Structure 1
Amino acid sequence: MVIFRLISVLTLVLLNGCAGSQDKLNSQEESVEPVKMSQTKGETQSGSTKTEIDPDVMYMLLAAELAGQRGQYEIALEGYMEAAKRTKDPRFAERAAKIAMYMKDSNKTNEAVSLWLSQDPNNITARKIAALSALRADDKQVAVEHVDKLLIIDPAGFENSMLELAVALEKENKVSFLYDVLDALSLRHRNQAEVYFVQSLLAMQMKNTDLAKTKIQQALDVQPDWDKAQIFQAQISASSGDLSSAAKLLEKAAAKYPENDKIKKLLAQVLIKAEKYEEAGEVYQGIISANPNDAESQFALALVHLQLSRDNKAEDILKKLLEQPEWQSQASFYLGKIEEKRKNTKKAMAWFDKVKDGPFVLDAEISAISLLAKDNQFDEANSRLNSLRSQFPKQKLRLILIQAELYNQQKQYEQAFNLLTNALADMPEQKELLYTRALMAERLNRLDILETDLKKILAEDPNNAEALNALGYTLAEKTDRYAEAEKYLEKALRLQPDEAVIMDSYGWLQFKLGNTEQALFYLQKAYAKRQEGEIAAHLAEVLWTLNRKSEARKVFTKAIKDAPEDDDLLDFQQRVLNTAE
């Protein structure tokens, strides 16, 4: 069960106050609010000096505003530009710049912004628009000058300004050019850690982890005690898979800043990612001891307990969280999961039905549908599923896959196959649909479609271990194309050597090839990791073939008790056990 995902590259920045900044620059193109004519030009600077606007200019502004309202933007732009020149009032230049941006006229935008900056050189918005224009035009020298001014005028907001520019440039694939501009800027400001920090952020956005590591280290060389940079350095390590280094960096930062719970929470998430659940639990427990009202950490600790199969401890925490309205849905969902694990279907359903809002509504409904299907209440399951379609239209794919699974559980393979085929007409490249239809094709013995669908997945994603395993196993089970099957399964095993299902497939292929001892080795490993019906049936048959019949019966007896209707176990019973008696 995945408990948390690591914070994404930009989350750190967002948590530090730039949430909502992404569209600021682009929104300038849509923001063309009229200037209030009652204001005077003196009010734009200090608000203290009042001088009347010349009647000719007033007429010009009124004409420009009326032209704008009628969609005559060129006339409006010309009027505001002329008014700005006559009055030297930056409000009118700003208005002209916004109209030019709305018109998407880069030349006139540059002219208006240039006038705006000549009248108000420290205006941050004007400077950002000018920088964006230069970046879009690949004018590095001009871009450097404007970005340099932003750093000097507003050092505290520099990071946010650069991220706004990065978001505006992302769709145009020009983030790397902004990085180069900052490289040139760093030569002017070698002791500005913020420049290196932003470069590190951009490098991660460019998916260049090594460069990000270099730049964040440069930032820390300049400012060693910068906690935000230390956190981001750990995030970079975590995102590159070096969880050990990430944990060490965060432990060091947590020791240096013992009051910073954000660092400790990130440390706990890294430990969870590294599957060090005990250590993660200790971190959360420490946070809660210092702050008993930290409900977020309480919830996280409950999930850690669940991961460690300490259901009773998790249950105690979750039931306390029910007292807080904002945590009731999350707590109810996981209390339902605990009862589901205990096979208390009614109690589980009752908890799932309490989830009425928040991020777990859909998951709770799906969990309830799954329980109904296991109890063969397919009419009720279908009824609930139908209501979800209108409630969650964006979850169309997921709901189609659930419907296909309901058909599968009822052995209505043709209906499932047709449902998936129709869905693929709308979403022909969807891997999940192709994979699931391949499974239904196998049930219908339509191996040509199974092979086509799985090979289509592999053409786009050659390292898709799930598709490699499904194709390899089917060829081993349904055909005599063992050499091909072995090629696919060996690759799947290299990609995921500890995956029980793949070990089972490979072991079963070895059994088909007559390599019985090798088959036993892989099947025993698979069964040790996952004691499910199909793997148990395969292991029992290999043990039986090796004349270890008492062991085979023991494996079968345990498995059939847990899954009395499992097709693979029943097949083994009929083919092997019943004929031997």
Structure 2
Amino acid sequence: MKKFLVLLLCLSFSPAFALPLSPESRQEVRQINAFLKAVYAQRANDPAAFALLEQALKRSPDSAYIKRLLVAQALADGKPELAKPYDDFVPADTTDPEDWTVYGAYQWKLGQVDEAEKAYEKALALAPENAQVLYQYASLLSSLGSMQAASKLLELAEKYPALAADIYTTAGNIYGRSKQYQQALAYYDKALAVSPKDPAAMLGRAEVYEKTSQYFLMLHELEELEKIGYGSAATYSRMGSVFLLVKDLPKAEAYFLKAKADDNGDVPTSYFLALLAEQKGDYARAASYVRDAADYNENASKWIQVSFYLQRLNQPQESLNTLAQAYQKFPGNVEVGYFYGVALNDNAQYKKAARVLAQVLSSNPSYAEARLQYAYALDGLKKYKLLEEQLEMLVGENPQNAAALNLYAYSLAERGVRLDEASAYAARALAVSPQDASFMDTMAWIYFKQNKLDQARDLLAPIDGETMAANAEIAYHYGAVLAALGQTDEAKKYLEMARSEIKAADKLYKRIK
């Protein structure tokens, strides 16, 4: 082939190509041009390289070299199946180690490990100092993870001392995956004896210490890695998690912040930083950490987590908006649908809540919490027949469902109907949770509706002031009971707590004032 390139060069310096090319020469020139075009495309990582190599092969169908390039390109493109028509490129008597290296890689990709091993061994026999071939062979052995593979690796370490550290580390990895931790440590130590600052061996040793719960040794190893400049988000995050484990929260946070500085979206780091911020009550920072996680836009539970933090920050509208966006972003996600329905109920958007929760129940009819929230929405919409059907289902499935019993009792009391039945439901709820202030309030409100004022007062009086202040409805009910008993001064104190949220409380407050 070289002689034709020389011919072309000579012709290029001839004026007007004075000597005409013969048909055979023209054919050879076309072959060379097609080949060069394909090779340049291959070197430039051009997606058209494989097709150009096929065109070149059509002009030189007997070229084993072009076939080898085609196999190598198919592997590079991640399409080993395209190499099948060309996998006969290795002559039986070849002395070219590259032939066997490419063939070994091809067989490995097909899962023909024995054939791949044979090919790499032939390549090494032909080129014993070829580091690339040795590296690929060692990688193949490492992937096998067997003790036989480890034995072969150790033979290679003896033959090729320049690569001994890498080979010992690979052997250590094999033993580590097999949970033979003492042998793994022995080979990591061998690697470090050859190359004292080998980061792969140091990391391997740290992993063994972690798996054997030798956390302080693990931290020491990772700190040594950090000193020689091999700190990373992954190692910092692992260090942070170990410091969490030993309850050294300041150091844990410091290393998680290092991990975040190295990789802002590192998922474990974001999780732990949010957890630490939550423990401090810093919900704004916790929400920020969760949003920064690389998987935030693909992880529905993290949107729910952010909405929880916003709720704790007393930002109910922002919390609701986050869930609304999540509901659009993750259609069909049951947990998002449930929490969105809860938030809509809290926002008194009962019609939308009922629609969302009905959708959740259509695919998950046994989701009791979603059915209870659906019942709350129906109560808000005054769809009492459908409400009672849902509550009957809940109580039928679980006669001790205190929340469903309480809602049933309260709905009847609010409507002023079937008060004896309401009293029975309220009593059953209280039997399950006798100290629940909301259940006590329901029973007291039933007593109020039955004009059993002393009993109502006796139930509400023990509820502490903090609970009253946090729950306008209970405060209103207690104020109404006291007002009915003629204790107007005391009643005004509780009605004052409720009047900004409950119109009936404001109206009663003004009337008795």
TM-score normalised per structure 2: 0.49
Larger radius of gyration, structure 1 or 2? 2
Structure with bigger RCO (C-alpha 8 Å, 6+ apart): 1
TM-score normalised per structure 1: 0.44
